[in-house]
């Protein structure tokens, strides 16, 4: 009886090692850079720069990091240019909200004002000697509607002089505008001399004032 030797055992191949995964940081940076939000663009660019700074040229994932930085940078550039363009367009509508855009104007002495003169904006709270006037066909806020000379005499005092001017301008309002003050959207104010100028100036100058820029005179047709 012949004894057969046992068959040779088959050698099993060694287990395969798992393939190394690429770094996650550049992938996250790329996803953030694609999202349509400024905060994600900034985050994507920052993460992309961090990965590029920490790795060498042949490190996996650098292509995604470069793409993240490029995409985020492009989006931020477009956003900044868009905002600047909008601000530039809005600034052309007028220097201040509620004031008309710049128009041709001339500066005249306060004593040279005439009824019907229009002004883009006159600050009645300041002591002024000159006023900017424009053609009433241009956008404006103020219009002179009465100039009245007061009687000579001693200076009546600031408070009493304002009372006199208020009464004069109030009663002249509807004659010039054609509508009673209480029924109009316009306001009125006045310019009167102070004690220092009373010796040579007794004029009360009444102004109409509009909240929004208007074109054309509000007075009676001439």
Could you give the count of Cα atoms lying within 13 Å of 64 in the half-sphere of its Cβ? 18
pLDDT(11) > 60: no
At 99 the pLDDT is: 47
At 19 the pLDDT is: 46
Long-range contacts of 53-57 (CB under 8 A, 24+ apart): 55/23
* Other CB atoms within 10 A of residue 215 CB: 12
Please answer whether residues 172 and 143 qualify as being in contact, where contact means their C-beta atoms are separated by less than 8 angstroms.
Answer: no
Question: Can you give the pTM of this predicted structure?
Answer: 0.52
| Residues 40-98 pLDDT 10s | 888 878 887 787 788 777 778 778 878 878 888 888 888 888 888 888 887 765 444 44
Distance CA 221, CA 23 (A): 81
* Other CB atoms within 10 A of residue 19 CB: 6
At 15 the pLDDT is: 59
DSSP the chain: -PPPPPPPPPPPPPPPPPPPPPPSHHHHHHHHHHSS-HHHHHHHHHHHHHHHHHS-TTSTTHHHHHHHHHHHHHHHHHHHHHHHHHHHHHHTT-SSTTSPPP---EEEEGGG--TT-EES---TTS--SEEEEB-TTS-EEEEEEEEEEPPPSS---HHHHHHHHHHHHHHHHHHHHSS-GGG-S-EEEEE---GGGTTT--EEEEEEEEEEEE-S--S---
Please answer whether residues 40 and 25 qualify as being in contact, where contact means their C-beta atoms are separated by less than 8 angstroms.
Answer: no
| Residues 174-207 pLDDT 10s | 999 999 999 999 999 999 988 998 998 899 999 9
What's phi and psi for 207, nearest 5 deg? -115, 140
SS (H, E, C) 107-121: EEEHHHCCCCCEECC
């Amino acid at each position: 009886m012949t004894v057969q030797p046992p068959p040779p055992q088959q050698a099993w191949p060694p287990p395969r090692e798992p393939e190394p995964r690429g770094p996650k940081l550049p992938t996250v940076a790329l996803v953030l850079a694609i999202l349509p939000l400024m905060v994600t663009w900034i985050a994507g660019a920052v993460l992309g720069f961090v990965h590029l700074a920490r790795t060498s040229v042949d490190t996996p994932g650098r292509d995604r990091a470069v793409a993240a930085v490029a995409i985020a940078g492009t989006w931020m550039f477009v956003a900044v240019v868009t905002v600047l363009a909008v601000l530039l367009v809005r600034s052309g509508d007028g220097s201040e909200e509620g004031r008309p855009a710049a128009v041709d104007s001339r500066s005249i002495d306060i004593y040279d004002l005439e009824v019907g003169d229009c002004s883009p904006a006159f600050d009645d709270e300041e002591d002024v000697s000159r006023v900017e006037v424009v053609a009433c066909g241009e956008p404006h806020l103020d219009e002179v509607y009465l100039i009245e000379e007061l009687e000579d005499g001693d200076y009546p005092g600031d408070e009493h002089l304002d009372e006199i001017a208020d009464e004069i301008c109030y009663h002249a309002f509807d004659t010039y505008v054609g509508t009673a003050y209480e029924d109009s959207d316009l306001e009125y104010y006045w310019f009167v001399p102070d004690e220092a100028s009373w010796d040579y100036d007794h004029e009360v100058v009444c102004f109409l004032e509009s909240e929004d820029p208007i074109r054309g005179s509000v007075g009676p047709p001439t």
